[in-house]
Amino acid sequence: KAIDSIEPPVRPSDKPLRLPLQDVYKIGGIGTVPVGRVETGVIKAGMVVTFAPSNVTTEVKSVEMHHEQLVEGAPGDNVGFNVKNVSVKDIRRGNVASDSKNDPAKEAASFNAQVIVHHPGQIGAGYAPVLDCHTAHIACKFAELLEKIDRRTGKSLEATPKFVKSGDAAIVKLIPSKP
């Protein structure tokens, strides 16, 4: 009874397509098949997708989930999709597929992130941990500590702190080592 009363999450199918790749397979007689989970938007045959950050653009030939052809892959679906004229060397795990005609995903030279520090000692500008974001795994440098914030309320406690320590929350400017 309790399980029946749980509302399923609202899936953001109205947003632009974002599909981080978990893997890319070469399947004999079919070709290149990227695999991943649809995070937002939908993917369907005939769509033209662009992979970021490699900027490879191609047409989707078909979409499958658990060996069954789909009309469209929706948020939460783990799908494989066959693409035209793309080699497995051109795209890789961590790339993001998006609709080339609707706000395609772009690489970022830098981005701001809210972080909570779980690191012994203190951290300042220059620290470069490896971050995992969806299926990407990349070193990112703390370029700037923009502000220290209250981890519960998000209110600013200190502008441009010199360092943060374990338990602190902060807004930091991060620069990925690769786009």
Tens of pLDDT along 55-93? 999 999 999 999 899 999 999 999 999 999 999 999 999
- What is the reported pLDDT for 6? 83
In order, the DSSP letters of 98-118 are: EETTSS-----S-EEEEEE--
Amino acid identity, residue 170? Answer: A
- What is the reported pLDDT for 108? 84
- What is the reported pLDDT for 149? 93
- What is the reported pLDDT for 24? 96
CA distance 73 to 38: 7
Burial (CB count <10 Å: 0-12, 13-18, 19+), residue 173: middle
- What is the reported pLDDT for 120? 87
Q: Locate tokens 């972080």: which residue?
A: 115
Instruction: Classify domain 111-176 at the CATH topology level.
Output: Elongation Factor Tu (Ef-tu); domain 3 (2.40.30)
Residues of the chain with CATH 2.40.30.10: 19-99, 111-176
- What is the reported pLDDT for 87? 93
**Higher local confidence (pLDDT), 14 or 162:** 162
Residues 6+ apart with CB under 8 A from 91: 21, 24, 32, 34, 51, 54, 56
Instruction: Classify domain 19-99 at the CATH topology level.
Output: Elongation Factor Tu (Ef-tu); domain 3 (2.40.30)
- Reported as a single tens digit per residue, the pLDDT across 106-163 is 888 899 999 999 888 899 999 998 988 877 888 999 999 999 999 899 899 999 999 9
pTM: 0.77
- Reported as a single tens digit per residue, the pLDDT across 37-61 is 999 999 999 999 999 998 999 999 9
Q: Which long-range contacts (CB under 8 A, 24 or more apart) does 148-153 make?
A: 149/114, 151/116
- Please, which pLDDT band fits residue 21 given cuts at 50, 70 and 90? very high
